[in-house]
A and B are shown apart, each in its own frame.
Chain A
Amino acid sequence: MKRRSIFLTTSATLGFIFLYAPMIALVVYSFNKSKLVTVWGGWSLKWYGELFRNEQIIDAALLSFKIAFISASVAVILGTMAGFVLSRFGRFRGKMVLSGWISAPLVMPEVITGLSLLLLFVAMEGMFGWPSGRGTGTIIIAHVTFCMAYVAVIVQSRLSQLDETLEEAAMDLGAKPSSLFFLITMPLIMPAIISGWLLSFTLSLDDLVIASFVSGPGNSTLPMVIFSKVRLGVSPEVNALATLMIAVVAIGVIGAMYQMRRQSKLLATEE
């Protein structure tokens, strides 16, 4: 028994090192003075300065944030609707279709999704004249489509854990289906909705392949700029950018965990 747990702990620890070592190296080297990425030239914030002076990166970042914000917000609405329908509407004709369509984007290779959406946009433009050209709008539509799938899955699993008698109690007390959703169900699944939004935001911000297909000229998102830079090799500015992103995510996650801890502690003291 003992020996097995030592084996487990060692291999799991190695797994965690595997997960974090590259990121830690990235962070450390972002403070490297030397231009040669692998030669340590002392601590410096030089590349952060370079990063903020690089207009191409800043513009792309702003565009990506805008797209991610809108996509996440729309995806949360549509995804919550889909997740709700799938877990609370019982059986209805078309349920299989909807549940198939909602889970397929999760695993669909990005090149296929990207190509198919682009061809759709081109075909629609030829038939209806809309969307005229491709750009921010088409990227947002594409991102909403695959982000809503993630939101739907999260919301659906949260709803399935939810005690249905809460909703039954509300109905018993006279809540109509519509007010039932907004007064009882939505507040209860709020954590799932929030994490769905955050996940959508991240996925949208991160997407290279689909955006490359459906964007038009002059609409380079941040991943597209990064990709064209790193394709040529390791770049210290990108190290700095990566470090900033890791920092934001780490702060966000630690903050969320702290909040959760505090809540569970509050609960514990109340009990």
Chain B
Amino acid sequence: MSTPTGSAWVDGSGSRLTKFNFIRRVNWGRLSVVSVPTLWLAIFFFIPFLVVFKISLSESAIAVPPYTSLLEWDLEESYLNLKLNLGNYLYLFEDTFYIDAYLSSIKIAGISTVFTLLIAFPIAYMIARSKPSARGLLLALVILPFWTSFLLRVYAWMGFLKKNGLINEFLLGAGIIDQPLIMLQTDFAVYIGIVYTYLPFMVLPLYSALEKMDMTLLEAAEDLGSRPATSFFLITVPMAMPGIIAGCMLVFIPAVGEFVIPSLLGGSDTLMIGRVLWDEFFLNRDWPMASAVAIVMLIVLVLPIMLIRNSQGKEEAI
């Protein structure tokens, strides 16, 4: 394995020869193709997190920008003064408001994810089991709403759920209820909003897992004495597990930080951390506090993100 130095990015250290790395020397074309997107992501995706972390350790100030800097030249004493302020984090854990917001976000995202899974599974299963010629159309029907505005799809539910909205009108008209139900500005509305907007993200990975599944496995299970319901839990669910994990994470992670849905459909008491961060930033203009909220949210989400990375990694390996 003697790779020339200076080609850190370009050496093909794998033993397998691949088309674009069989020449083991600095290849400027190759280097630039690798480094342009990598540098872009480094600057605009990775470094920003370091900045957020840095600012989360500073103090709020009435200034432009509204925070103190960590490093200061003390001109008189002529030394570098590093001021780390853990106050934001301490405050975060002292004030039950923030902890409640995190817990409530996780609860709302978790419940919504379960409902999304329950609704998406039959859809994905039906598509995977329909005629191959019909699958494209059915998938398109699932994805189509995704192409229209997310904001407007959330907005559509406002018209459905409000006090004098369509659902209440219908139920009142049918005589099922005599008082309009309060649905808008409740947690219930937030669940619906999340399930509705994230449904395609659940259906697609489920579909791709179920579509790969060999139907004769179910026949084999039945042949060996297993009822259809038992076969579902013993065979179908384990086979769909990569899709279930991927789908749940694709819904759960963004749902935890969701801002638009709770602010349009939720009530004033619907506590979600994305909304807290937004208010901290735009209303209180407390940038360091908002940064601390973001950093803790990231830590909370690291585990699910690793989970989805691993499930993707497995697929790559196969």
Which A residues are within 8 Å of any B CB, using their own CB? 1, 4, 7-9, 11-12, 15-16, 18-23, 25-26, 29, 37-38, 78-79, 81-82, 84-85, 88-94, 97-98, 100-112, 115-117, 119-120, 122-123, 126, 141-142, 144-145, 148, 152, 164, 167-168, 171, 177-178, 180, 202, 205-206, 208-209, 212-213, 223, 226-227, 230-231, 233-234, 238-239, 241-242, 245-246, 249-250, 252-253, 257, 260
Contact B274 A103 (CB under 8 A): no
Contact A8 B41 (CB under 8 A): no
Chain A nearest Cβ from B224, distance in angstroms: 17
Contact A101 B42 (CB under 8 A): yes
Contact A15 B123 (CB under 8 A): yes
> Known contacts A88-B18, A107-B253; is A25 also within 8 Å of B166 by CB?
yes
Contact A148 B150 (CB under 8 A): no
Q: Which residue of B lies closest to A22 (CB)?
A: B156
Number of interface residues of B (CB under 8 A): 97
Chain B nearest Cβ from A121, distance in angstroms: 9
> Known contacts A107-B249, A242-B152, A253-B147; is A38 also within 8 Å of B169 by CB?
yes
In the bound complex, residues from chain B placing their C-beta under 8 Å from that of A116 are 48-49, 51-52, 294
Chain B nearest Cβ from A111, distance in angstroms: 5
> Known contacts A119-B52, A206-B149, A231-B264; is A16 also within 8 Å of B123 by CB?
yes
> Which one of A29, A92, A168 lies within 8 Å of B34 (CB-CB)?
A92
CA distance A98 to B35 in the complex (A): 10
Contact A90 B152 (CB under 8 A): no
Contact A81 B37 (CB under 8 A): yes
In the bound complex, residues from chain B placing their C-beta under 8 Å from that of A141 are 44
> Known contacts A26-B156, A38-B169; is A257 also within 8 Å of B137 by CB?
yes
Which B residues are within 8 Å of any A CB, using their own CB? 8-14, 16-21, 29-30, 33-34, 36-38, 40-49, 51-52, 55, 65, 119-120, 122-123, 125-127, 129, 136-137, 140-142, 144-145, 147-153, 155-160, 162, 164-166, 169, 196, 199, 228, 249-250, 253-254, 256-260, 263-264, 274, 277-278, 281-282, 287, 290-291, 294, 297-298, 301, 305, 308-309, 312
Q: Which residue of B lies closest to A229 (CB)?
A: B155
- By CB atoms of chain B within 10 A, which of A94, A115, A177, A226 has the most? A115
Contact B149 A94 (CB under 8 A): no
Contact A107 B44 (CB under 8 A): no
In the bound complex, residues from chain B placing their C-beta under 8 Å from that of A81 are 33, 36-37
What are 28 of the A-B contact pairs (CB < 8 Å)? A1-B228, A8-B122, A15-B119, A15-B120, A16-B141, A18-B196, A18-B199, A23-B153, A23-B156, A38-B165, A81-B33, A85-B33, A89-B20, A89-B34, A90-B17, A91-B14, A107-B249, A107-B305, A117-B44, A119-B291, A120-B44, A148-B41, A209-B278, A231-B263, A242-B148, A245-B152, A249-B144, A257-B136
Chain B nearest Cβ from A232, distance in angstroms: 11
> Which one of B119, B125, B159 lies within 8 Å of A25 (CB-CB)?
B159
In the bound complex, residues from chain B placing their C-beta under 8 Å from that of A101 are 38, 41-42, 45-46
In the bound complex, residues from chain A placing their C-beta under 8 Å from that of B14 are 90-91
Contact A234 B158 (CB under 8 A): yes
Contact A26 B152 (CB under 8 A): yes
Contact A22 B153 (CB under 8 A): yes
CA distance A92 to B10 in the complex (A): 6
Contact B48 A98 (CB under 8 A): no
5 tightest A-B contacts by CB? A109-B257, A90-B18, A116-B48, A91-B14, A22-B156
> Which one of A4, A9, A108, A226 lies within 8 Å of B151 (CB-CB)?
A226
